[in-house]
Amino acid sequence: MLTVPFLVQLVGVVGVVGYISYRNGQAAINEVTSQLRSEVSLRTQETITGYLEAPQVINRINVEMIRDGQVGLDDPDELARLFWDQTSLFDTIEVSAIYFGSETGEFSGMGFQADETWQVGRVDAATDYRFHSYAIDDKGNPTRLLDAGDPYNPRVRPWYEWAVAVGNEAWSDIYIDFKEPRLKLTHAIPVFSNIGELQGVVGVDVVLTHVQQFLRGLNISESGEVFIIERSGLLVASSNLEEEPFLVDENGQVTERLAGDRSQIPLIRETTQYLQENLGDLQRVRGNQQLSARLAGEQQFIQVTPLSDRQGINWLIVVVVPESDFMARIHANTRITILLCLGALGITVVGGVVTARWVGEPILIINHAAQEFAQGRWHNDVKVDRADELGELATAFNHMANQLQTYFTTLETQNQLMMEVNERLQQSLDKESKLTEASGRFVPNQFLRFLGYDSIAEVHLGDTVFQEMTILFCDIRNFTQLSERMTPEDNFRFINSFLSQMEPPIVRHRGLIDKYIGDAIMALFGKTADDAIAASIEMLHALAAYNTTRQRPDRPPIQMGIGLNTGALILGVVGGQNRIDSTVIGDAVNLASRVEKMTKRYRVPLLITEHTYRSLQDPDRYCLRMVDQVIPRGRSERVTIFEVFDADAPELLQAKCKMRSPFEQAVQLYSQAQITEALSLFEDCLRHCPQDTVAQVYVKSCQRLLAKGPNPMITPLNHLEI
């Protein structure tokens, strides 16, 4: 009888565990493969979209320069230098050739070759309208003839004919390169004169071999595939290493493109056939589709994702993952589980029968005695004549019965008393917990730890500690004007709403909010200066998100300034007999406050001092630049001020990064009173980045100083005290 329950439980548990394990394994596989297919499709879509973006940008720039007369179509050397300058701005994965073909049959271009060098290609009367390839120097000028190729007419090339037929910018059909065995795709734009006559076509090539290499580098699964097809069914590229998306003859020349349903790779061929049969016309596929089918002899998970744009790209990304890549481990675990369960079942049966006989009888005797004790009959002794543990248990059981009656009476009284004590103790603990939580909101726990205390009750007037910290000051711009339009109640709601957005970034980055000063925040960072910078950047992102909730005429967007400085300060407790408060004192605190005020001068959100800059673990992690050298009031040495612009809009951030070197050179010239040279550089910065408010301030200052005449007694902006 003792064995049966164990057997039933074991068999039941084994069955349930095995069933749940199998179902969970199936569910996990479906979830993992779904996530894998989606992630691979998304990454492929984003990467290829990025590849296709650069050619469009280059062509639009070139068309505008031609229309504005900045480059002459009759000067092939000038075109070559323009194309050479543009190659340095983009990766060869995105751009493999830039060129212009004229309506009169001339051609001028810059192409990246298989030997990883750039060459100038030229076709005109001087080359007898043959395709001549030239080596170039470091400025893009042709130096020597490398190859005098075959006759070449750009007007009959697919990219030229397609652009002329469309009459606007467009992607050509995929075509075979005339020089190398590979597929290419061209973004082309027709160029018209002021009177509407066709002058030619500008084009930028994308080599689809790079797309093929990207797909082959994806980590899908052991035997999974990802491939791209056109709506017509022709292959664009695939992750398979054994097959190219085109057919070649015995001479190694590309003869035609390969259709997906004619692929020699079974998984690609059968997947394409399945999609054509079950989705009907591939032109009608809209949105992501996840499918499951039995192909190439096993179950396959499929995802189809459209990839298209307005210029003519209209492809399908297909990800195929075999179920067997994930099921092998589950089947192995299932077999091991079954064997272990059968072994445990056999051992339990044999051991249970033997043990039940030996243990069962004494247990039944003790069980009967226990039932007697439960009825209040305490004097029934257990008689088990054994020297083992069961015999000792019987002796102890008898001894327990003798004492149990004595203890039972007093137990209820003690229990009642204990319940009353516990209730009072819990009430005291609840009060203390609430008091500790409330005090922590007025005096932060970090401040107590800096002073070496665990509780606010231990703090005494005059307690101080010397500390190296980064100080953050944050203030709302034009708060007075905002508050004048609100009632006192609205003011409090607005301030609390704003502060509630700013507090979490500070806390997340191990900051200590020392005090709220109206609409301003003073915070301290004792770990690293990087914490303060990271918190400031996150605060600016939080403010941008907060401003999206204020898109009403009576709720204008909020702007704020943040100043950071790192240095020594004293934390302590000040006050009198009846009122004390925590505070921090030191020149570093005053300088941080003044730096925050400088954000209004330059109309930027985040400035830091050189002390904070030198405390950063890796300044190159951030987008920053030197903007000023100031002399703090009461001090003689200069302090360099840096702007951190990681939170700027992407376009503004990119422009500032690009112009950082000339901008900082201009600041140095300005500080050396070389105003004319500084003005020229600042104006150049504004041409590339018109929204650069710091450059705007410097330009106005330079113009004001130069208006005083030659060699004026000048006091540049960065010599002013703060």
Q: Which residue has the tokens 């711009």?
A: 477
Q: What is the dihedral of CA 87, 88, 91, 97, to 10 degrees?
A: 10
Distance CA 100, CA 189 (A): 10
Which residues pair with residue 573 across a beta bridge? 582
Distance CA 55, CA 91 (A): 11
What does the DSSP assignment read for 417-446? HHHHHHHHHHHHHHHHHHHHHHHHHHS-HH
Reduced 3-state DSSP string for 542-587: HHHHHHHHHCECCECCCCEEEEEEEEEEEEEEEECCCCEEEEEECH
**Exposure letters 452-469 (e unless 16+ CB within 10 A, then b):** ebeebeebeeebeeeeeb
What are the tens digits of pLDDT across the range 379-437? Answer: 666 666 676 666 677 677 677 777 776 776 677 677 778 777 777 777 666 565 554 55
Domains of the chain: 51-204 (3.30.450.20), 220-322 (3.30.450.20), 348-442 (no CATH), 446-647 (3.30.70.1230), 649-722 (no CATH)
Distance CA 155, CA 161 (A): 6
Pairing mode of beta strands 107-112, 118-123: antiparallel
Residue 579 is predicted with a pLDDT of 63
Pairing mode of beta strands 225-230, 235-238: antiparallel
Residue 717 is predicted with a pLDDT of 46
DSSP state of 258: P
What are the tens digits of pLDDT across the range 572-601? Answer: 777 666 666 667 888 999 999 999 999 999
Which residues pair with residue 102 across a beta bridge? 200
Distance CA 633, CA 69 (A): 54
Which residues pair with residue 582 across a beta bridge? 573
Q: From residue 659, how far is each of 25, 377, 624, 669, 685 by CA, in Å?
A: 55, 97, 11, 15, 6
Q: What is the dihedral of CA 474, 477, 478, 480, to 10 degrees?
A: -20
Structure tokens at 636: 């003689």
Distance CA 254, CA 649 (A): 47
- Of 553, 486, 554, whose CA–CA distance to 519 is shortest? 486
Structure tokens at 268: 């690609």
Distance CA 318, CA 271 (A): 9
**In the chain, which residues have pLDDT < 70?**
1-11, 13-29, 92-93, 328-331, 341, 345, 349, 352-353, 356-362, 366, 369, 375-385, 387-391, 394, 397, 405, 408-409, 412, 427-463, 575-582, 709-722
Cβ contacts of 184 within 8 Å, gap of 6 or more: 96, 174, 175, 176, 177, 205, 206, 207, 208
Are the C-beta atoms of 249 and 224 separated by less than 8 Å? Answer: no
Which residues pair with residue 607 across a beta bridge? 563, 643
What does the DSSP assignment read for 7-35? HHHHHHHHHHHHHHHHHHHHHHHHHHHHH
Q: From residue 250, how far is each of 247, 254, 627 by CA, in Å?
A: 10, 10, 65
Are the C-beta atoms of 348 and 3 separated by less than 8 Å? Answer: yes
Sheet strands side by side (includes 235-238): 235-238, 225-230, 314-322, 298-308, 289-295
Distance CA 355, CA 598 (A): 86
Helix axes 3-67, 76-87, angle to 10 degrees: 150
Are the C-beta atoms of 147 and 120 separated by less than 8 Å? Answer: no
Are the C-beta atoms of 685 and 663 separated by less than 8 Å? Answer: yes
Q: Is 199 exposed, middle or buried (0-12, 13-18, 19+ CB in 10 A)?
A: middle
- Report which residue type is found at 647: A
- Of 533, 526, 397, 539, whose CA–CA distance to 468 is shortest? 526
Q: How many residues does the chain have?
A: 722
Pairing mode of beta strands 606-609, 560-575: parallel
